[in-house]
Structure 1
Amino acid sequence: MQQIIKGNRVIDDDWSLVGADTALDALPNSGNLIVPLALWKEHASALKARDGGQGVWLDAEEIIEDIIEHLADFQVVALNFTAFTDGRHYSSARLLRERYGYKGEIRAIGDVLRDQLFLMRRCGFDAFAVRADRDPHDALLGLDDFSVTYQAAVDDPLPLFRRRG
């Protein structure tokens, strides 16, 4: 079972990430699934009828606005980093939290490394599936790399000068 970082600890993941080429009839009728956006768009009503949690994942070129009308259907929105150098989903996470008020889990998947976690959390991510060749316990330490932040962000909407008493 894969382990993820959530709630500032490493836990066993009880969600299954469905591959991009998976057909609807290959999915189980129950269980927590995170499906690719294309599968959700094509079979939303059938996926809603399943027993279990609903999640969707988006690649970097897919935009958040494609799921806004369905946000209430998702317990998890996973944002796929195909390369650690592609930062488009940092903006996606902020949009989900700040503009669209999404309260569910925002999970970073794909090429996710320890050095990214602190900033990802500041942007609104609250769960992280680090790359398979990396240790999630070591990556967890990345959330504490900095003790003070100056700028306002999703995790702390006040800049430092407003927090000082």
Structure 2
Amino acid sequence: MSHVIKHGLLVADDWRLVQAGEPPADPARAILPLADWLARPEHPAVWLAPDDDPDALLPHLVHLSLIAIHFPVFTDGRGYSLARLLRQRHGYRGELRAVGDVLRDQLYFLHACGFDAFSLRADQSPAEAVAALADYRWQPLGQR
């Protein structure tokens, strides 16, 4: 079973990121790409690529349990902007997860932009990343 860092803790990840056009093995626990999600906006989880427009989600934010933002490479900072827009401008309160080429060294800055969950790159140790987060004061989003 894979793990995700959520609210500063390492937890089992029962969500699965689905690629465009791929049928989900468990539709109830699938994170659909925006293009596929638009055909099924009642679905509770979506992922955004860096160049996706988050405005397509606005009428549905209250119903989304999870929005994942994909980082194709760790040097692509557009995901930080998407997170800020969703949290601060649009008031999204559900889980906001960083996925893709996510490194332990980015977690503090990702959290500062609104992410509360992180799926690290395969060569990164989630347990070590959680330990590294202890160096920072972890505040739930509503207390900032």
TM-score (norm 1): 0.77
CA–CA separation in structure 1 for the residues paired with 2:97 and 2:121? 13
Which of 68, 73, 76 aligns to 1:86? It is 76
How many positions carry a matched residue from both structures?
141
Q: Which runs of 5+ in 1 are unaligned?
A: 148-153, 158-165
Give 1:69 shift.
Answer: 1.6
Highest RCO, 1 vs 2 (Cα 8 Å, sep ≥ 6): 2
Q: How does 1:24-103 map to 2 (within 5 A)?
A: 26-28=23-25, 30-41=27-38, 43-44=39-40, 48=42, 54-103=44-93
Check conservation: 1:122, 1:155, Cα contact below 8 A: no
CA–CA separation in structure 2 for the residues paired with 1:80 and 1:30? 19
The structure that has the greater radius of gyration is 1
Which of 97, 101, 106 aligns to 1:107? It is 97
CA–CA separation in structure 2 for the residues paired with 1:88 and 1:156? 25
Give 1:120 shift.
Answer: 0.5
Question: Deviation digits for residues 59-117 of structure 1, max 9, x if unmatched?
Answer: 11112112112212210000000000001111111111111111100000000001100
TM-score (norm 2): 0.87
Q: Which residue in the other structure is 2:117 paired with? A: 127
Give 1:21 shift.
Answer: 3.2
Q: Which runs of 5+ in 2 are unaligned?
A: none
Q: Which runs of 4+ in 1 moved over 4 A?
A: 154-157
CA–CA separation in structure 2 for the residues paired with 1:127 and 1:111? 14
CA–CA separation in structure 2 for the residues paired with 1:28 and 1:68? 27
- Percentage identity across paired residues of the two chains: 43
